[in-house]
């Protein structure tokens, strides 16, 4: 997983798109856990843009596992909320740049509302990590979560982008609509910087432990909160005008200079001890 770690540390900054350091570390920790425990399955993403997070998923593949990517690309008449504009040629060139064999990647240029469970199963089998970052209106978010849950492997993970983000309130509305209609066998287990993470109910404790035990993520842990039946860790803080200047500086470093922030906090902890 050296290539994956190098990518989330440095490489991803060369790709246009949105993928915070905290969320990229969560991807890394969970993909490593799945590989170490021989959790089989492909990876998938709805809303590839230029491949920033999709590349990370592909770098986590082992053996004959494959990746499935969905994006309307230049067919922007389907992009009802103007939430991104992917380009297939750029995605494929970026995948090649990071050594990903395109023979192991299935790219589906349809809207996610046209993609069926069988399409994904036939292409990659069960999915162990499914990133949902497509349309941001309520109905499509609910649709995409249903699709992801229908193919989710044992100890599999769904990452829902822009959950609770003020600019995209329908993402949260779409999640709650889907969750209320579901059988609640797939539930939230963590909130990252900009993503909600879900898994099968029986996997919650195992996957939470992976994140809590991370030497990197512990510096970004905010609190636990009881949400949808589980006490989940939150690795994000909402910035408030009432914060002191010291707190503002810390939060700025966490977002914009996370590697420096972790080194600083680690040094401070050693000096205290």
Integer Cα distance of 214 and 143 in angstroms = 32
* pLDDT confidence of residue 76: 60
* Contact between 121 and 140 (Cβ < 8 Å): no
**Alpha helices, H only, 43-103:** 52-59, 88-97
* pLDDT confidence of residue 272: 77
**In 3-state terms, what secondary structure has residue 46?**
strand
* pLDDT confidence of residue 82: 60
**Alpha helices, H only, 98-203:** 117-124, 138-150, 169-181
The model carries a pTM of: 0.94
CA distances from residue 37 to 30, 40, 42, 201, 252 in whole angstroms, order as listed = 11, 9, 15, 18, 36
In a 13 Å sphere around the CA of 230, the CA atoms on its Cβ side amount to: 22
Both tokens assigned to 113: 């509302």
Integer Cα distance of 115 and 126 in angstroms = 15
pLDDT in tens, 181-197: 999 999 999 999 999 99
Residue spans of the chain under pLDDT 50 = none
* pLDDT confidence of residue 21: 96
* pLDDT confidence of residue 241: 92
The residues that bridge with 132 in the sheet, in sequence order, are 46, 160
Q: Residue 249, Cα to own-chain centre: how many angstroms?
A: 26
H or E segment at 200?
strand 195-200
**What domains can you pick out in the chain, each with its CATH number?**
2-236 (3.40.50.150), 237-273 (no CATH)
């Amino acid at each position: 997983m050296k290539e994956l770690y190098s990518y989330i540390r440095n490489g991803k900054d060369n790709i246009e798109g949105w993928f915070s350091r905290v969320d990229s570390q969560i991807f890394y920790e969970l993909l490593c856990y799945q590989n170490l425990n021989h959790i089989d399955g492909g990876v998938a993403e709805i809303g590839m843009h230029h491949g920033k997070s999709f590349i990370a998923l592909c770098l986590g593949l082992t053996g004959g596992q494959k990746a499935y990517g969905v994006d309307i690309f230049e067919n922007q008449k389907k992009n009802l909320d103007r939430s991104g504009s992917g380009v297939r040629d750029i995605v494929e060139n970026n995948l090649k740049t990071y050594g990903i064999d395109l023979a192991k990647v299935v790219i589906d240029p349809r809207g996610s509302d046209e993609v069926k469970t069988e399409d994904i199963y036939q292409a990659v089998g069960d999915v162990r990590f499914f990133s949902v970052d497509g349309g941001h209106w309520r109905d499509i978010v609910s649709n995409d979560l249903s699709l992801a849950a229908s193919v989710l492997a044992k100890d599999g993970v769904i990452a829902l982008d822009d959950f609770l983000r003020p600019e995209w309130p329908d993402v949260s509305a779409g999640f709650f609509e889907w969750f209320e209609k579901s059988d609640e066998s797939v539930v939230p287990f963590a909130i990252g910087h900009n993503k909600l993470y879900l898994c099968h109910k029986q996997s919650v404790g195992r996957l939470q432990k992976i994140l809590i035990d991370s030497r990197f993520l512990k510096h970004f842990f905010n609190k636990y909160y009881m949400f949808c039946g589980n006490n989940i860790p939150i690795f994000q803080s909402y910035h408030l005008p009432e914060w002191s200047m010291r707190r503002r500086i810390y939060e700025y470093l966490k977002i914009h200079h996370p590697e420096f922030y972790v080194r600083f906090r680690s040094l401070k902890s050693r000096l205290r001890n």
